[in-house]
Structure 1
Amino acid sequence: MIRIHGTARSRAFRCIWAAEEAGLPFVLVETGFGAALRSADHLRVNPNGKIPALEDGDLVLFESLAINLHLARRAGPPLMPEGDDASRVLQWTLWAATEVEPAAMQWAYHTYLRPEGERDAGQAAQGASGLGARLDVLESHLEGQPHLLGEAFTIADCNLAGVLYGAWSNRFDFGGHTRCRAWLERCFNRPGALAARKLREG
C-alpha cells in the first residue's frame, strides 16, 4: 500500500491528487508541521524535515513533483504518456518548479501566508508580476488545446496546476489570462481533484 506522509493542507495535496488520478490506493499518514517533522520516524522518509514523503514498497521518495511522476509512471498512459510526450511532461514539471513556483510563493507569502504585519506589498507586487510573465507563456501555449499536451489530461497538468492551486484558491488576479483560468477550472473540477480538494478544503 502506498503511504503519503503529510497533510492535505500542504504540498502533499499534489500527491493526493496524483494518486487519485492514477487510481492507486493509498493511505495518508497525517503529518503536520513543527516537531513532527523533526522526529526520527519522519526524517527516515524525508531527511529534509519537510512534507510530503512517499513510501511505495521499498521505495522512499521526497519532493512532491517527483512523487507525482512516480505515481504517474505506475499508472502509465494517458496520465504518463510515452515517447516525446514523456519528455514534455518533464519539461512542464520542471518549469512549474523553477519558473512558476518561486513567483507564486513570493506573491503568496506577502498576500496571505505570512501574518499581516510581516507582509511587504512591494514583494507581493513583484511576485504577481513574475507570475504574470509565466502565465503569458502558458496562455499562449494553451491556444487551441484544453491541456498542456493536447486533448488528454496528463501528470504535467496535475503538477503545474498543483503548483498554481494557492494562487487559484486565493483569488490571484488572472486578468486577461482567460485560457489559463479555464484550464485551471477544468483541472480542479476533475473527480480526482475534487476528492483531493475535499481533504484540503473540508
Structure 2
Amino acid sequence: MQTRTIFKTPLVSGFFRLVFMALTRLRGWRIEGEKPKDKKYVLIAAPHTSNWDFPTMMAASFILGLDVHWIGKHTLFPAGPFGALMRWFGGIGIDRRKKHNTVEQMVANFNERDELVVIITPEGTRSKVNHWKAGFYHIAVGAGVPIYMAYVDTNLNVVGMGPAFHPTGDYEKDIVEIRSFYADKRGFRPHSE
C-alpha cells in the first residue's frame, strides 16, 4: 500500500507550502488553527459550496502540514502511473462492487495504518442540502477516531481548523452539535436560505 503522498514529499510539500502561504497573504486570507496532534482522524470540510473549496482546503493542508487523503471510486486508481499519481495526491480507492460498504472499507483503512487523515465534505454536494450524509460520522465511530472540523468562512476571509469532536455514537445528538459549529460559516457561494 502506497503511503507517501504529495504532502509527505519533502521538496514538493515545502515548495507548495511557501507558494500557498504567499498566495493566501496576497489574497488577504488567513489560516486559523493548527495541525492536530492526533495521528488518525476524519477531517470534515464545510460549507461545501464551490469548486474553490478543494484548492482552498488543499492550500490550508500544505500550510498546516497535514497529510490528507480523500476517498475516490476504485476506477480512479488503475494499475500503472495514473493510479500511482492519484494515490500520491492522497487518494484512497473504494470498490463499490464489494459487499463491504464505503464505511467498512474506510474503517479497515484506518485499522491498517498508524497514521491516516481522511477529508470528507459531509454535504456530499455543492448544492444546498438539509441533511448531511452520515458516512463521515460512521467512519469515525467505526475506527474509534475523532472528527476535526475544517471550514471556509468568506465573511472573515479565513480557512480554519476547528476543534476535535469525539463522537458518542448518538448520531442525532452529535450532528446537531457538529452542524452548530458551522452555523456562522459562509462558503464561497452561500446557499440562499
TM-score normalised by the chain length of structure 2: 0.31
If each structure's helix is expressed as a fraction of its own residues, which one has the higher value?
Answer: 1
If each structure's strand is expressed as a fraction of its own residues, which one has the higher value?
Answer: 2
- Relative contact order (C-alpha < 8 Å, sep 6+): which is higher? 2
